[in-house]
Each structure stands twice: as C-alpha cells, then as structure tokens.
Amino acid sequence: MENHNFSADQINLGNSKELRNSPDEVPITVAHGDGIGPEIMEATLRIIKAAGARIRIETIQIGETVYGRGISSGIESSAWESLRRTKVFLKAPITTPQGGGFKSLNVTVRKTLGLYANIRHCPSYSPYIFTKHPGMDIVIVRENEEDLYGGIEHRQTADVVQCLKLISRPGSERIIRYAFEYARRYGRKKVTCFTKDNIMKMTDGIFHKIFDEVSKEYPDMQSEHWIVDIGAAKLADRPEEFDVIVLPNLYGDILSDVAAQISGSVGIVGSANIGENVAMFEAIHGSAPRRAGQNMANPSGLILAAVQMLVHIGQGDIAEIVHNAWLKTIEDGIHTYDIFSQNTSKEKVGTSEFADAVIMRLGRKPSKLKPVKYHDQSKPIEIMLKNRPKPLKQLVGVDIFLDWEGDPDTLGKSLEAISTPELSLTMITNRGTKVFPGGLPETFCVDHWRCRFQSKEVNREVSNENVLSILSKLVSSGFPPVKTEGLFLFDGQPGFSLGQGQ
Ligand code: NAD
C-alpha cells in the first residue's frame, strides 16, 4: 500500500478541492446531530476526506433544532427527499426530547426507510484499550424494525397499558439470512440466536424456528440457540465464546450496548443500518449532552461507522486506509478520555486532536493489532426470501378484553349467561393467568380481563357475524370491550396461546 504521511492541514486543503471536481463521487446525506454530534462528525468527515473518500455531501438538519420548530417527528420533508435521493446516510447522534408528543427520530428513520439490519462489530483492542475480555470479537446482527419498537402502545383501563410485540416471518427470515450471509462473507465460524421462546412461544418462537430452518442451509457454519437471559449472562461473562449473534430488536438493542461496553467503551463502536434501498451509518452511543462543546468526545464510533459506509458505497480501498490508520492511532496510545488509561495510553487527546492523529497515520497499518482488508468485500449483501404458500386461515373464536372491576367468579358467571349458539365463554385470564373457571383466590387481579369465546365444538369455524353478535350482546349487557383479538387456525394449527394455567 502507498505510504503517505501528510499533516492534517495539508490533506484537508488538498482534498476538499479535489472532492468538488471528482467525477466518480458518490452523493451521501450527512446530519451533524446534537450534543457531541457536530464535533465527532467534523472529525469524521475530515478523516475520510483526507483519506480520499469520493463523496459529495448533502447536509440535512434533524433533531433538536427541528423539534424546536414544533415538528414532532424531528425531521423535515426536504431531509427525506435527500435521503431518498442519495440512499446513504451518515448520521451523528441526536437528542430525543423527553416526554410524550415526540417520536424517537432514530426509530422513525430506521423504520420509514426499511433499514432492517443493524450491524455492530465489537472486537477487543486489547491491550491498547482496556477490556476484561481480550479474546472477544463479536458481531451483533440486530433486527431493526419489528418487535416492541412498533411503538404501538395503548392505555386500556385505569390500571393497564399495553405495548404490542410484532414479529413477522419475512422480517425474521430476512435478518437471520443476513446474519448467515454476513458470517460467510467475513469468514466467521458460528451464528448464535438469542430468544425467549420458552415464554413467548409464538413471537420469539417463530424467530427461533426460522433460525433453525435457515441454519440448515449453511452447513459450513456452526449454529446455536440460547434463551436470552442465560445467553446474556454468558455474553457478559465469556464473550470470546460468541462470534456472530442474531437477535430480535429489543434484545439486540440491549445486548449490543453490553457487547460494546465490555469490549472497551460504547464510544468505539459504529453501526450500519442496512435496508434494501437505503443504508444509514451511525455511532452506537447517544449525543452525550454533558460532554458537548468541550472537544472531549471520542469520535471513534462515528469514524468506524463511516468505514462501514465506505465499504457499502464500494470504496473499500478508502475504508481500509481509514480503518488501519484508526487502529494504528489506538495502538500508538493516542486516546480520548473515555478509553485513556495510565497503563496503556501514551497521550490523552481531544476530539479534534484524535482526528489529526488518525489523519497523520493514513496509509499506515497497525503492527500489533490485526490490520483490516476490505478490497474484496465491497458488494452489499443481498437477501432472497423463500416463497411460502399462504396457509389456510380459519376463525374459531375471539378473545374479548374488558375493563371491569370485581371478582373473577362474578364476571365468569355473568359472561356464561351471555353466550350465543355459536360462541360461549371458555376461559377468563387476568394479565395472562387463568382465573375462571377454576381460578385460585391468591391470584392478584387488576381491571383488565381477557375473556375467550369459542364454539362448543372445539375449533369449529365461526363467522365475523358470530363475533359481532357476541360483542353486541356484551355491550348491551354492560360489558363494553376495550379490544378484541380473533382466534385463528392456520392450516389447522392454533394461532393463539393458551392461558397460563390452562
Ligand atoms: P449517551 O450514549 O449519549 O451517553 C452515555 C455515556 O457514555 C455518557 O456518560 C457519555 O458521556 C458517554 N459517551 C457516549 N458517547 C461518548 C463518546 N463518543 N465519547 C466519550 N464518551 C461518550 O447516552 P444517554 O446519556 O443515555 O443519551 C443521551 C441522549 O442521546 C438522549 O437524548 C438519547 O435519547 C440520545 N441517544 C441518541 C442515539 C442516536 O442518535 N443514535 C442513541 C442513543 C441515545
């Protein structure tokens, strides 16, 4: 590789001119964000431009200033236009306003642009960055759109609020295939799946089932599944035993921060959010408002996110130069406060000086840490989903949720009297536990009751009109529903769970 050794200023001036005139430059959208965002973005852009990134930047405003103008989504329509035009987004962290009325902009951007895969690489940089786990090298592949992040929440009674957990078959298949394809491309050996399907047998169950199905297509790859609680404990204790981990959204959100932190710091991990058409690259940490404007923050997370972006836009050559220079800087002990240690660091620097140090090392490789190589890996990973026949779907009953105060037996007896020829009460649960018939007085109950109505002949198909007539009878008898869920069979198999204790 060419060994250039320029000063930061020389490269800066030289490249900004060159960039404006370069014909093969790729348009990208950049948001400078809130808190420490502008400082780490300035540092990152300076480095990648100095390395020769062939990019043309469109700057958009998102976050605090936009929320401040009364736009509750935190993003304006002109910003969406830029994102849809460039299809590549380098984003600094933003501050999510506290309180109701504001949606998380990060979730909005990921979901609106269909960024289904969130990739976070958490290796150890031991001994240069302190970690208790020098052997760890984990890639977290997190499902990015589904699960509890639909933000579909309702207060249904005085006592009870609800958040819907949605897991889809294609959403799960896409992320699981992505994890296996990623593992293959980057020469990894094992893919681990975490779920809680001993409890959530249907939602987490489908994720696990698809993992088992897809893993059979990758006989070259080891695969394993852990229940997320013990899996998380093992991850925190012996991370070197994991390689690629694929998880549903919430577990991925939590455990990718754990993985990043135990690798050294949340400040040194970048993430790629990949969709079919658009991709977004960001640090995993937030806007750290208390550090803002002090030239203290570690820009490494965003720098490594920019490296992933360069690979994504086919500039693996530049990505490699930046990443190796960053590794060399870390190895040389030039560290920001968050990773500074008397034992391993040589110089404590600010954000801007850290960027200068990386720029000074462009073209050099680390000698102890393993240098990276990206040349052959520039094509985005493409995922094809399996065509599946639509299952036969039959309505066989309805769960009707009531807001009611009293004891389960009184409710049960009243509802038994309300049955129709097609549908009658088979069970009542309170927060999922069966309380009628045959409940125990010890079970604590709140004002939210799930009342299951099915045909007397188990699993006999009923009509929507049958459901409407039981609903109408309930309303006229003084039991207005707060919501209903249809009970369906899919190819003859129940698409609903039993009550706890049923
Ligand atoms: P945070 O990640 O901003 O900060 C957590 C801790 O890590 C703080 O002690 C902070 O000083 C430190 N830290 C974070 N990044 C650092 C860096 N680059 N260098 C050195 N130290 C760093 O998390 P938080 O305090 O929970 O959140 C602050 C704000 O950021 C909130 O408004 C939150 O909603 C938002 N946030 C945004 C994103 C995003 O834009 N992608 C992600 C997470 C949080």
pLDDT at 18: 38
**Which has more pLDDT, 19 or 311?**
311
Left if phi > 0, otherwise alpha if psi is -120 to 50, otherwise beta: which for 396? alpha
Say whether pLDDT at 103 is over 90: no
Say whether pLDDT at 419 is over 50: yes
The model's confidence at residue 381, banded by pLDDT at 50, 70 and 90, is confident
The rounded distance, in Å, linking the Cα atoms of 416 and 426 is 8
Burial class (CB in 10 A: 0-12, 13-18, 19+), 68: exposed
Q: Which of 133, 58, 65 is nearest to 90 (CA)?
A: 58
Mean confidence (pLDDT) of the chain: 91
Q: Which mutation among 91, 273, 285, 296 tests ligand 1's pocket best, with the greatest number of atoms within 8 A of CB?
A: 285
The rounded distance, in Å, linking the Cα atoms of 67 and 176 is 35
pLDDT at 19: 41
Q: How many CB atoms lie within 10 A of CB 350?
A: 18
Q: Verify whether ligand 1 is closer than 6 Å to residue 297 (CB atom).
A: yes
Say whether pLDDT at 99 is over 60: yes
Q: Which domains does the chain have, with CATH numbers?
A: 1-131+264-380 (3.40.718.10), 146-258 (3.40.50), 393-494 (3.30.70.1570)
The rounded distance, in Å, linking the Cα atoms of 352 and 15 is 18
The model's confidence at residue 464, banded by pLDDT at 50, 70 and 90, is very high
Phi, psi of 38 (to 5 degrees): -60, -35
pLDDT at 500: 67
Task: Compute, in angstroms, the gap from residue 202 CA to the centroid of ligand 1.
Answer: 34
- pLDDT tens figures, 400-418: 999 999 999 999 999 999 9
Q: Which mutation among 32, 42, 266 tests ligand 1's pocket best, with the greatest number of atoms within 8 A of CB?
A: 266
Q: Verify whether ligand 1 is closer than 6 Å to residue 495 (CB atom).
A: no
